[in-house]
Chains A and B, each alone.
Chain A
């Protein structure tokens, strides 16, 4: 019996959220007096998992799994869970984890709780805290099934080092034709940009920018910070920016270390989606804008003056501190 954690990778490289998930799995394993087994799919190098507490990694390598496939990935993880007799399975809250979690839950007849923010308060009965109402509240929920699945919210637990000696095992799940019923015809993805899901810093702008032609300074600032760009809902509805940048209650959630909101008023639906970011900065010329109540730092002023200044000063700061 061990705690099984699915360690996601992108182009063969283990993601940071996966390392956070291993840290979290290690915390649960310690509570339950057991160890952590990781499962990776087509990852090139899994040695880093040992640093965060994995005792064993099951390495799946199969060209058919080069592209994400919810059914097949869930099947592989379910078989690993059965082999390991795992009673707790840790996933993340990435789009892919959320895709495969329900399939996995049915395969293992397991209860699932997503957006978990802390270690279980108790493991018997198994009770976890998770965010609900799009970050406006938390719930404490018991999972009553023998096998339990939790999806860890990004940036909630952090990386915790716990060097462990780790064994690597090749693992070849039996995948049947049904796992590949769906054909991926094309993938359209900017590979040179940080995604909102992975970004440590997100630079976001709203209707205060007046028009799409003014996004140059937002992109420049994001480049300087190695950040992802995002926007408020009306900005994507008007077609100033792509839908994939829309953040908030009805868009993407943001759980970055730093969220910089420029010319965004701070409507409740916007704030709900970005509230789990650690540090929030607002730049707005209206001192009454509701965002000032939600932010940690703020500048009252004209974005068209402040953003270029901020970018220049940050470049100088980066040059000095590197």
Chain B
């Protein structure tokens, strides 16, 4: 099994979100970048396939050189090789086109991506990639087993879950549940040392135009003060008469 794990390089979840250049660019000043949490769950599942089923695991990112530390972290967690497609990630469609090329050239039969990246929340890359590579696709994946070219996938649905049988080639959009929080691995010293010498290949992009373009950003209006109440009668009264939600 040859697995490609897609790694999105995103601001740490505690980041303050600000914009510069007349609200047209995300302000990276003082922002820590990390592996997108949904992707980290997927990467951890891939490590399990490597250890238990002898899978080969590569990680990939579409982005500039600034994303390499994030890819090195994925190597430190245990991926065998990393690939960076040297072009900015503009929208889900164009990233998927770049990755489709990587998938075809590398002959991967399982692609694990995240349900969405926590920066732009597009959530469309995995589905488009599946379609472009003629693979089966399962989103919001919370369980994945592979046996030969057959796969059993659990998908989170509104109010429950669904178990599906499908086959490779397969693309999944993973999230917490594909492994548990307690399964996540912090790279150890040995992993970090090894990661320095593992291959990180930079690939030039293929021609792929973006279908959408973000023109500007805006922050939500500041919130008013909380109304503190002393007892539940007051609360019920306010929720009924003022907020009109009960």
Are chains A and B native binding partners rather than an unrelated pairing?
A: yes
Scoring A residues 190 to 234 as 1 if CB is less than 8 Å from chain B, else 0, what string do you get? Answer: 100101111011000000000000000000000001000000010
Please give the distance in Å from B91's CB to the nearest CB on chain A: 8
A133 to B137, CA, bound (A): 25
A177 within 8 A of B: no
Bound-state CA distance A95–B38 (Å) is 16
A134 touches B118 (CB 8 A): yes
Contacts of A99 in B (CB 8 A): 127, 139-140
Question: Does B181 interact with chain A (Cβ within 8 Å)?
Answer: yes
Chain B, residue nearest A111 (CB): B211
Report the separation of the CA atoms of residues A275 and B126 in the bound assembly, to the nearest whole angstrom. Answer: 26
Instruction: Determine if A101 is an interface residue (Cβ-Cβ < 8 Å).
Output: yes
A243 and B142: CB pair below 8 A? yes
- State how many angstroms separate the Cβ of A296 from the closest Cβ of chain B: 6
> What is the CA–CA distance of A244 and B154 in the complex, to the nearest angstrom?
13
B120 and chain A: residue at smallest CB distance: A132
Q: Does A173 contact B (CB under 8 A)?
A: no
A70 lies within 8 A of chain B by Cβ:
yes
Check if B37 is an interface residue, CB within 8 A of chain A.
yes
CB-CB under 8 A for A112 and B159, given A144-B212, A237-B182: no
Q: A111-B93, A137-B17, A243-B176 are in contact. Are A103 and B239 (CB under 8 A)?
A: no
Mark out the residues of chain A between 269 and 322 whose CB falls within 8 Å of any chain B CB in the assembled complex: 269, 272, 275, 278-279, 281-282, 292-300, 306, 309-310, 313-314, 317, 321
Stretch in contact with the other chain, from B42-50, B59-67, B101-109, B160-168: B160-168
> A185 and B165: CB pair below 8 A?
yes
Give the chain B neighbours of A68 by CB distance below 8 A.
157
Asked whether A299 and B212 contact (CB < 8 A) given A137-B17, A258-B246, A268-B14, the answer is no
Contact residues of A between 119 and 168, Cβ < 8 Å to B:
127, 129, 131-145
A106, B238: Cβ atoms closer than 8 Å? no
| A225 to B219 Cα, complex, angstroms | 32
Contact in complex: A306, B121 (CB < 8 Å): no
A297–B229 touching, CB < 8 Å: yes
A20 lies within 8 A of chain B by Cβ? no
Q: Encode A53-85 as 1/0 by CB contact (under 8 A) with B.
A: 000000000000000101100000000000000
A-side contacts of B187, CB under 8 Å: none
Q: Is the CB of A103 within 8 A of B157?
A: no
Residue pair A141, B161 in contact (C-beta under 8 Å) = no
Residues A111 and B245 in contact in the complex (CB < 8 Å), given A70-B137, A137-B220, A189-B160: no
Give every chain A residue within 8 A of B126 (Cβ-Cβ). Answer: 102
B158 smallest CB distance to A (angstroms): 4
What does the 1/0 interface line of B1-35 toward A look like (CB < 8 Å)? 00000000001011001010000000000000000
- Residues 256-274 of chain A, each 1 if its beta carbon lies under 8 Å from chain B, else 0: 0110000000001100100
- A189 and B176 within 8 A (CB): no
Partner of A249, one of B13, B132, B138: B13
Given A99-B140, A295-B226, A141 contacting B127 (CB threshold 8 A):
no
Residue of B nearest to A68 (CB): B157
Give bound CA distance, A106 to B94, whole Å: 12
For chain A, what secondary structure do more than half of its interface residues adopt (helix, strand, loop), or is it mixed? mixed
Contact B118 A142 (CB under 8 A): no
* A184 to B238 alpha-carbon distance, docked (Å): 46
Partner of B158, one of A115, A197, A272, A275: A197
Interchain CA distance A5-B140 in the complex, whole Å: 23
Is the C-beta of A174 less than 8 angstroms from some C-beta in chain B? no
B198 at the interface (CB under 8 A from A): no
CA distance A150 to B13 in the complex (A): 26
Residues of A within 8 A of B189 (CB): none
> Which residues from A are CB-within-8-Å of B142?
243
Inter-subunit contact A105/B213 (CB<8 Å):
no
Complex contact A101–B127 (CB within 8 A): yes
Contact B218–A141 (Cβ < 8 Å): no
| Chain B nearest CB, measured from A195 CB (Å) | 4
The distance from the CB of B207 to the nearest CB of chain A, in whole angstroms, is 16
A134 to B38, CA, bound (A): 13
A-B residue pairs in contact (CB < 8 Å), sample of 25 = A96-B157, A102-B96, A102-B128, A103-B130, A106-B128, A112-B211, A112-B212, A127-B215, A133-B118, A144-B210, A144-B211, A183-B166, A187-B157, A189-B162, A190-B160, A196-B158, A197-B159, A201-B246, A243-B177, A244-B161, A293-B226, A297-B243, A298-B229, A299-B232, A317-B240
Given contacts A136-B17, A140-B215, 20 further A-B contacts (CB under 8 A): A98-B123, A99-B127, A105-B124, A135-B220, A136-B219, A139-B216, A144-B212, A183-B166, A184-B164, A185-B152, A185-B165, A195-B158, A233-B181, A268-B13, A278-B245, A279-B239, A293-B223, A298-B229, A309-B231, A310-B236
Binding site for B on A (CB under 8 A): 68, 70-71, 94-96, 98-103, 105-107, 110-115, 127, 129, 131-145, 181-190, 193, 195-198, 200-201, 225, 233, 237, 243-244, 246, 249-251, 257-258, 268-269, 272, 275, 278-279, 281-282, 292-300, 306, 309-310, 313-314, 317, 321
The 10 lowest CB-CB distance pairs between A and B, nearest first, are A102-B127, A189-B160, A111-B211, A195-B159, A106-B131, A197-B158, A102-B124, A258-B245, A136-B17, A102-B128
